[in-house]
Structure 1
Amino acid sequence: MAGETLPGVDDGRAREDPRVVLHVDMDCFYAACERLREPELRGEPLVVGMGYESGETFGAVATASYEAREYGVESAQPISQALDRLPRVEAASNPAEAGYYRPVDIDYYESVAAEVKEILHDCADVVREVSVDEAYLDVTDRTSWQTTPDGDRTLAEGFARHVKQRIGREVGVTASVGVAPNMSAAKVASDHDKPDGLVVVEPGDVRSFLDPLSVEEVHGVGPVTARALDEMGVETAGDLAAADPEEIASTFGARGRELHSRARGVDDREVTPAGRPKSLSRESAFAEATADDEKKREVVSALAADVAERARNRGAMYRTIGIKVIVPPYDVNTRERSLSGPVDEPALVEDVAFDLLSEFEDDAARKVGVRVSNLSFTDADQSSLDGWESAAAESASDGERSTGTEKDRTEFDDSAESPPTLTDFDAEADGDANADGGEDADGAAEADSRDGQASLGRFE
């Protein structure tokens, strides 16, 4: 990959310039997380799901690595079909034609996703988190569609490459990124060159980019809608764009008008956050696991200052201060302490973080993090240290060390939505079918045939 750049922005650009929207979609995210935990699984066919253990009679594939897909294993597929096409290594007569199966570990995946979200929120002022592995970013104020001095690329492409590289370097998973002047085109672009893709659709090229694509690739068109359109002679996005909008609307209603507009590259929706953050955090990985307590404290100090500054900049006070310590191979430990009331005290964040970190004295750490949560966004006078010192109480998690799926349920994330459940991981899990295309005309949620995590709830 080309050298990293973080392009500047020409402050004199016209305000009416087209927006710069990124759609970031993690590649086979559950499988990528499992490979973080077990690096030896890289390059091997890998299926993440449930119901494959002996004696279990029901289950489904949550996601399948690209290597597993070569054997016909797909997301949302019954696990029995997956096992027929790709036997487990442990039970296969020919291990060379077999794959590895791992159970769904939502807590762990959310922990890794939180690291990605931290990068996204650092790179953009406006982030819309769609699901555990997908988000839209409006970076219009961070970059532009202008070309670099050598004319080799747009500044927007360089910025998107920077985001991709940070995710890969700091988290260890790959993302496909689409860059376009609107949300639906950016979504299509991110799906266009998976895995590890970067597709840029400049404002003047949206229609020519979409026209030759299958109509099913238009954002919001699923298999049922695609079949109905095919019966009308509409096979490509270009066909849909050229179709009579009244005829499309008579068949699909208001949603048909929206799909017709998207096929023409028209999408006026703004990228809007789902809500205020539940927590703010920062994490940092060491080049290699270290047991040097001074080095750990130095990093935690910097993280605590950064988190406290972010909270102050957002007008947020916090009632809970916590840390995360990841020890080899990838055991996630969280500790937190609740205060008697909301405060805005940077020095206190560091003091509590150091106190919690002391439990891990002499332990090797791969990564450390600091979080403030139970946020309060009010204009009331901030609480002081005096109010905390007399009544601070440790949370129930202080007394136990938790690893893997046993860790604290509260994750290090910036999401304002409740932690997702197994039924939340459709290709689009935004809850607004018309806005983000998560439902087909028949009302059934669709799995993304390219890379989405399956919604296991459909098999219940």
Structure 2
Amino acid sequence: MPRVIMHMDMDAFYASVEQRDNPSYRGKPVIVGSPPDKRGVVCAASYEARKSKVRSAMPSRTAGKLCPEGIFVRPRMDVYRAESARIMAILHEFTPLIEQVSVDEAYLDVSALVDENLELDAAIESARPFAVDIKKRIQEQCGLTASVGISSNKFLSKLASDFQKPDGLTVILDRDRVAFLRPLPVGTIHGVGPVTARGLEAMGLVTVGDLQDTESALGPVAGSFAGKLKERAFGIDDRPLDLSDERKSISAENTFSRDTDHRPQLRAALKEMALDVAETLSKHEVGALTVQVKVRYSDFTTLTRQLRLDDPVTSASEIYRVACFLLARHQLVTGPLRLLGIGLSTLVPPTQQQLRLPI
């Protein structure tokens, strides 16, 4: 049976919900997040705001300078989650094989919806009407637009959904994948961050086509990702969809009203966050084998450090102790912090064994 993967991505989801619910916002630059005179970041920006180079995760103060006419709206997470549930219910009308990546993004394996006797490219193309129907239902039932990509794997379908936003529908046939990728910048490939991209560009590898053609070893720049990077350059991706609905991670963050390196204040914030994530662990009846701390400094430099444990942590005191250990071990509080956070991952059934920290 040919493998046909679809990627659905809502268009400027949070901002589009706000524009739908408040007609006076339509056609105007809407920025979801903290107001520009407060500490905080942009959660989402409408396409009108993006024309002024406003992007998510940008400090709200910066967004206000770039887009002084921007309409800043406080996020309504309950509304977005409810809307997400409606959208995912629509997707489940087509297939149960769905990997929900976030509130506004999902992969669908639609292989079973196409004729199994078709050749791969014919099967990919035959999935187009299903994408049209999905987009139509989301528009009619939710009043929102979605962009959809269709191809033979997750990497290409995600790339396709980003290609003609907003309200796009792009199909990448298997025979066209190499040519489609050639002119794109190396940073297009998922897993190539700014540092890796600069390293590749320093080697003269600016486009994906350059990666396809190079005989040079990529290990010095890409490390263990070098092999996968070469595969991605040719549109090869054998990752299966993750169909589990289990929670993958838990986190809590605190953005301080004033940058601080005051130890009592930092410890108090850590304890509060440890209690928060421990309550979530208890609710889901899991423990965490990986604990991460996150710090952001006054210049917005952000660092994370994590520790994999032999036995899962479950209590607030254990989580707090590991977080303090990581901060001290890596000497992360070298100056005032803008943000401090705790993250838990590798969630497993809890045990009663005593926590052991590596020495």
- Hey, what does 2:207 align to over in structure 1? 236
**1:77 lines up with 2:25 in the alignment:** no
Matched residue SS, 1:253: helix
Q: Is the 8 A contact 2:64 2:70 kept in 1?
A: no
Q: What's the Cα RMSD here?
A: 2.4
Q: Determine what percentage of the aligned residue pairs are the same residue.
A: 41
Distance 1:25 1:229 in 2: 29
- Name the TM-score, length of structure 1 as normaliser: 0.51
Distance 2:339 2:9 in 1: 24
Superposition pairs of residues 21-420 of structure 1, within 5 angstroms: 21-52=5-36, 56=38, 58-87=39-68, 98-143=69-114, 154-244=125-215, 247-275=217-245
Q: Is the 8 A contact 1:47 1:102 kept in 2?
A: yes
1:213-269 Cα shifts (integer Å, max 9, x gaps): 111112222222211110111111111122237x11343232121121011111111
AA partner of residue 261 (structure 1): E
Q: Is the 8 A contact 2:196 2:221 kept in 1?
A: no
AA partner of residue 65 (structure 1): S
Structure 1: 5+ residue runs without aligned partners?
1-14, 88-97, 278-422, 424-457
AA partner of residue 159 (structure 1): F
Q: Higher RCO, 1 or 2 (CA under 8 Å, sep at least 6)?
A: 1
More helix by share: 2
Distance 2:168 2:245 in 1: 29
1:145-188 Cα shifts (integer Å, max 9, x gaps): 959xxx9x931111111111111111111111111101101111
- Hey, what does 2:290 align to over in structure 1? none
- Name the TM-score, length of structure 2 as normaliser: 0.64
Change (3 A) 1:182 1:233: same
1:316-349 Cα shifts (integer Å, max 9, x gaps): xxxxxxxxxxxxxxxxxxxxxxxxxxxxxxxxxx
Q: Is the 8 A contact 2:149 2:162 kept in 1?
A: yes
Distance 2:86 2:226 in 1: 37
Q: Is the 8 A contact 1:30 1:63 kept in 2?
A: yes
Matched residue SS, 2:112: coil
Q: Is the 8 A contact 1:210 1:237 kept in 2?
A: yes
Q: Is the 8 A contact 2:145 2:167 kept in 1?
A: yes
Structure 2: 5+ residue runs without aligned partners?
248-293, 295-337, 341-359
Q: Is the 8 A contact 2:35 2:73 kept in 1?
A: no
Q: Is the 8 A contact 2:151 2:171 kept in 1?
A: yes
Distance 2:9 2:137 in 1: 14
Q: Is the 8 A contact 1:187 1:219 kept in 2?
A: no
Q: Is the 8 A contact 1:176 1:194 kept in 2?
A: yes
Matched residue SS, 1:123: coil
- Hey, what does 1:12 align to over in structure 2? none
